[in-house]
């Protein structure tokens, strides 16, 4: 795990929901054979990975994380200032 930090799937999902993930990939695990891990890169370029997951679990969560990263994170507004709205 050179240059990568191990994070739980729920932590990575939380980062993706908050719009902090820029890239999501799937990688094969050596042990157990056939299992996969999810690797993400955050907005600062830091890499994180999950533990090895069953293939179906990894693929399903990869699709969800990809949707958060590609589609939904663009809807998050950053740096919005509060405005004073007068009551009617």
Instruction: Please report the pLDDT score of residue 70 as a whole number.
Output: 79
Report whether 38 contacts 65 (CB < 8 A): yes
Find the farthest-apart pair of alpha carbons in the chain and give their distance in angstroms, rounded. 64
Does pLDDT of 78 surpass 70?
A: no
Question: Rounded mean pLDDT of the chain?
Answer: 85
Architecture per CATH, 4-75: 2-Layer Sandwich (3.30)
20-60 pLDDT per residue, tens: 999 999 999 999 999 999 999 998 999 999 999 999 999 99
Domain ranges of the chain: 4-75
């Amino acid at each position: 795990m050179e240059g990568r930090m191990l994070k739980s799937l729920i932590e990575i999902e939380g980062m993706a929901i908050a719009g902090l993930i820029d890239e999501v990939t799937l990688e094969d695990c050596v042990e157990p054979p056939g299992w996969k891990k999810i690797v993400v890169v955050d907005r600062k370029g830091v890499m994180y990975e999950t533990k090895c997951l069953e293939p179906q679990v990894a693929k399903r969560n990869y699709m969800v994380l990809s949707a958060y990263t590609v589609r939904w994170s663009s809807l998050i507004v950053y740096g919005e200032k509060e405005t004073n709205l007068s009551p009617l």
